[in-house]
Amino acid sequence: MKLKPSDVSTVIIVNKNKEGSQTLQVKTKHIERLKHYVLGILAVITVLTLSVIYLTHKSQQQEEEKQRLVAQLTKLKGEVPPADIEEKKATTAQGYIQSIEVKLKTINDYLKKRGLKGFATKAVGGNGNAEAAKLTDSETYSLYDEYLNRLVHTVAFTPMGYPRVSSLTSYFGYRSDPFNTSNAEFHPGIDFKGERGDEAKCTATGKVVFAGRYGGYGNCVRIAHANNFETLYGHLSRITVKVGQEVTVGQKIGEIGSTGHSTGNHLHYEVRKDGKAINPIKFLTLNN
């Protein structure tokens, strides 16, 4: 398609040496828009220039603010005498250690009330003896950290707390036989009130050594824990763990029911030490 004469403009390029000239045909619309093209390019260059100037200024402000903060921190450090810092550190460390010792003694007292072997603090450090005086703060903290780790392990693997948070319907010791009230029987655990299907949870980390029918206990789960402790959960309607399974404190091990020698839905719970049933009441809370 041929362009109309009005659609094309001729641009004459004259050689500066005037030895000749050249002609260039350009669409007329481009020549008419040339002013807009130039203004657009100038606008882009202006925006880029202003952006560079702004970012440079912002960077300088941030650097100046940083330098001011560094100067203020340096000034503050120079205003605090080194002796005061060391004295404050020593005071804080001693208070921290003394606070830990008081809490550890309280925990040990609780453990001993339950017939558990407590931890001796003489070998921990920070108790004022000659050997403890030679320890640095870092060494003392390290010893207490190891001590606390052992204590946490003991508490986690010792049956404490409720397998089911509810009221008690029967206690440890001799009682009337619920199937024959004229006879007495020894009840080796405690019973928690519940409805069929309610969760029963283990009270300590351990390993499942039995899960199934167990005589008068009906559906029963027995879990072995550290220090020759064992817990037993009886009359379950459903067992949710299996023999050999590792369980953690608070984990669901079954659901409440009325299987075995039972007159209604409830959870029978026992704590055994060296195979002998002991009163679980003293293990329910730390205040017993």
**Mean pLDDT estimate for the chain:** 76
3-state SS, residue 13: strand
How far is CA 217 from each of CA 67, 126, 273, 274, 279, rounded to the nearest angstrom?
75, 50, 19, 20, 18
- 256-287 pLDDT, tens digit each: 999 998 889 999 999 999 999 999 988 886 55
Q: Which residues have C-beta within 8 Å of that of residue 278, sequence separation ≥ 6?
A: 115, 271, 272
What is the structure's pLDDT at 17?
61
- 127-149 pLDDT, tens digit each: 555 555 566 767 776 777 777 77
Per cent of the chain over pLDDT 90 is: 28
Q: Rounded to two decimals, what is the model's pTM?
A: 0.54
pLDDT at 82 over 60: no
pLDDT at 176 over 70: yes
User: Running DSSP on this structure, what letter comes out for residue 4?
Assistant: P
The radius of gyration of the chain's CA atoms, rounded to the nearest angstrom, is 42
* pLDDT band with cut points at 50, 70 and 90 for residue 249: confident
3-state SS, residue 87: helix
